[in-house]
A = this chain, B = another copy of it.
């Protein structure tokens, strides 16, 4: 999957800033890919991109209309269909992270067929995937490992990519979820592949490369999340990481959407991840801890991170507040010197 840029970002019709989280992520990490935004009314939060319509976007060279808005139940509301059809008619592609397949809507399928443009349904893997082999590949890999879902694994991985590049390293983000794929323009949604192929999909996503290159694989779920642990373990074995970064949210007490399941212990997750990762990498090592400290004051956050850092003898940071240079510094020390 390779989604052509530049993008026209569809922001939808909701006043809720959370509804445009995906579009915000694309704009934050890849502003150069975003030509403009399409809002269905003035109350929709703006990303400070030009408001342009489909016709204008096409004239200015936009290649893909990206459905960047969340939608109740993952179903496409009928009022969006005319915009999608219009984009297809002008020759633009359309990319969607919704559960409902774009080509399941006849007007959209017909317009795509007529124009020859592509529909990218990110939740639906296309093509044939291999099963995993576990064979060691050349190049170096880093994987973010979380105590739970939604603790900042994608943000951390992208922040590491940016910082590593700025330090002159060769680093590439390997997207494993919808938002990551829209940001990068390529990737595989591992939670959407048939379960026999989780590790194989991850191997495909991070193939053998030059020995000085780093592939930064976006983590998913948690080894101790009762719903998604299988995805996490397949991803760990497929990524065969040399380096691991722990992601956690300070003060989160329970697993997301499971009010009776305490959040796993950081030490437990780290020990399990290293132990299990050894199946496909002889020497996997944690190189840092990335913590979402948004629930803490800046002073408390600094104290919390200092405590973690001394407890685990690793750099600890909040990527949003303090960046990830201390982790990259340590990674260079461990692997590059």
Q: Please list the residues of chain A having a beta carbon within 8 angstroms of any beta carbon in chain B.
A: 131-135, 190-196, 198-200, 223-224, 226-235, 237-238, 255, 258, 260-261, 272, 275-276, 279-280
A229 touching B233 in the complex, CB below 8 Å, given contacts A192-B195, A195-B191, A260-B135: yes
Closest CB in chain B relative to A240 CB, distance in Å: 8
A195 touching B134 in the complex, CB below 8 Å, given contacts A224-B279, A279-B224: no
Q: Across the interface, which residues of B come within 8 angstroms of A258, CB to CB?
A: 133-134
Q: Across the interface, which residues of B come within 8 angstroms of A133, CB to CB?
A: 226-227, 258
User: Which residue of chain B is the closest to A279 with respect to CB atoms?
Assistant: B224
A230 touching B227 in the complex, CB below 8 Å, given contacts A135-B260, A193-B194, A196-B192: no
Q: How many copies does the complex hold?
A: 2
Not counting A199-B230, A229-B234, A229-B237, a sample of 9 additional A-B residue pairs whose C-beta atoms are within 8 angstroms of each other reads A134-B226, A134-B258, A191-B194, A191-B195, A193-B195, A224-B276, A229-B233, A229-B276, A233-B233
* B196 and A194 contacting across the interface, CB-CB below 8 Å: no
A276 to B229, CA, bound (A): 10
* B199 and A229 contacting across the interface, CB-CB below 8 Å: yes
A135 to B260, CA, bound (A): 8
A231 touching B196 in the complex, CB below 8 Å, given contacts A226-B280, A261-B134, A279-B226: yes
Closest CB in chain B relative to A320 CB, distance in Å: 27
Could you write out 14 A-B pairs with CB less than 8 Å apart?
A132-B226, A133-B226, A133-B258, A134-B227, A134-B255, A191-B194, A195-B231, A198-B230, A226-B279, A229-B279, A230-B233, A230-B234, A230-B235, A231-B234
